[in-house]
Chain A
Amino acid sequence: MPNKLLFTILLALLVPLAHAGEAVTLHDDPKLEKRVMALSEHLRCLVCQNQTIADSNAPLAVDLRSQVREQLRQGQSEQEVLDYMVARYGDFVLFKPLMKSNTWLLWFGPLLLVLLGFAVLIIQLRQRRKLVQQAAPMSAEEHARVAALLSGKHEGDRA
């Protein structure tokens, strides 16, 4: 029995060792790694489209990250690496869309909708004010009825 216990404990101790094998990307240059990750935040993973390659562990994302790492290591600038990716995968690879004539609607569309909403609101408010102004003034009888309704004694109406 103690033997079995000992065996179990030893086995449990092995668990962290078994996991140790999964930490694959431990790099020797933390400064470079920081740049790689920062740049990876700007690149879209094309197989998992709403993630950046920094977020994703899809094989393509891992490959693209190592491509980024390799090029930065060779002394390429951030912009050069981005250009390299765009040349191969198109503008879509950039996580933040470029400001170009064909993306204006994307960038300014929401603002346009807000402005449209304000315009509709203003027109409505003006029309309503006009309606109020145009309405015929109330007679004395109507005033009395309003007062009665507001004071809560309107039950008498029905009787």
Chain B
Amino acid sequence: MNRFLVPLGIFVVLIIFLLIGLTLNPREVPSPLIGKPAPAFRLAQLQDPAMTITPEELRGKVWLLNVWASWCVTCRQEHPLLVELARQNVVAIVGLNYKDERDKGIAWLRELGDPYLVSAYDRDGNAGIDWGVYGVPETFVIDKAGIIRYKITGALTPTNIRDEIIPLIKELNDA
């Protein structure tokens, strides 16, 4: 009996480890930027190339930076949630239009609605690299002092907005 108990035990432990492995998402790389100041950029605005936008201008506000592109399928999926979030007017949402073509980006917003206070136009993706962007869409929560507090890689969902984003925004607004 004992002869089978030990291999069975090892097998069960192995299965438990593999099951835990299945629930982890290897694409979710923890961002080292959390708790650090938001990287600076000065980029032209998507809709108006003559105007620029920099994170400095949002100092004193809690805001979201949502990285999006018209070629990004998942962005299309999360977009209605952003539009809804903007309608509720709970937080300023800034877009970072990442490696996109200007007219396509503008057309995309015209078609699906524009939840952004303003969208920065990052044609070559350098600002994206500074923010550690590797999989669009990504959403950052930045506090009043300009510190990145949270990051979601991948689509926003009703669940992560309700359980993670909104409570954090409330907390940061009260701070």
- Which residues of A are interface residues toward B (Cβ below 8 A)? 46-47, 49, 59-60, 63-64, 67, 86-92
- Residues B134 and A47 in contact, CB atoms below 8 Å apart: yes
Contact of A90 among B26, B32, B124, B125 (CB under 8 A): B32
- Residues A87 and B129 in contact, CB atoms below 8 Å apart: no
Residues of B within 8 A of A64 (CB): 129
- Residues B99 and A90 in contact, CB atoms below 8 Å apart: no
Chain A CB within 8 A of B130 CB: yes
**A91 CA to B30 CA in the complex, in Å?**
9
Chain A CB within 8 A of B150 CB: no
Contact of B135 among A47, A87, A88, A90 (CB under 8 A): A47
Q: Which residue of B lies closest to A70 (CB)?
A: B126
- Chain B, residues 31-50, CB within 8 Å of chain A (1/0): the string is 11100000100000000000
- Residues A63 and B125 in contact, CB atoms below 8 Å apart: yes
Given contacts A60-B134, A63-B125, A64-B129, contact A88 B32 (CB under 8 A): yes
- Residues A88 and B26 in contact, CB atoms below 8 Å apart: no
Residues of B within 8 A of A67 (CB): 126, 129
- Residues A87 and B32 in contact, CB atoms below 8 Å apart: yes
- Residues A59 and B32 in contact, CB atoms below 8 Å apart: no
Q: Is the interface of B mostly helix, strand, loop or mixed?
A: loop
Interface centre among A46, A87, A88 (most CB of B within 10 A): A88
Contact of A88 among B27, B33, B99 (CB under 8 A): B33
A-B CB contact pairs (8 Å), 17 listed: A46-B134, A47-B134, A47-B135, A59-B99, A63-B124, A63-B125, A63-B128, A64-B129, A67-B129, A87-B32, A87-B33, A88-B32, A88-B39, A90-B31, A90-B32, A90-B132, A91-B32
- Residues B30 and A89 in contact, CB atoms below 8 Å apart: no
Chain A CB within 8 A of B131 CB: yes
- Residues B32 and A89 in contact, CB atoms below 8 Å apart: yes
**A88 CA to B99 CA in the complex, in Å?**
18
Given contacts A59-B99, A63-B125, contact A88 B132 (CB under 8 A): yes
Chain A CB within 8 A of B24 CB: no
**A65 CA to B131 CA in the complex, in Å?**
16
CB distance from B46 to the nearest CB of A (A): 19
Interface centre among B27, B29, B33, B128 (most CB of A within 10 A): B29
Instruction: Across the A-B interface, give the 10 residue pairs with the lowest CB-CB distance, nearest first.
Output: A46-B134, A88-B132, A90-B32, A92-B29, A89-B132, A63-B125, A60-B134, A67-B129, A90-B29, A47-B134
Q: Which residue of A lies closest to B32 (CB)?
A: A90
Interface centre among B27, B131, B134 (most CB of A within 10 A): B134
Interface centre among B31, B39, B129 (most CB of A within 10 A): B129
Residues of A within 8 A of B131 (CB): 88
**A86 CA to B32 CA in the complex, in Å?**
8
- Residues B134 and A89 in contact, CB atoms below 8 Å apart: yes
Residues of B within 8 A of A87 (CB): 32-33
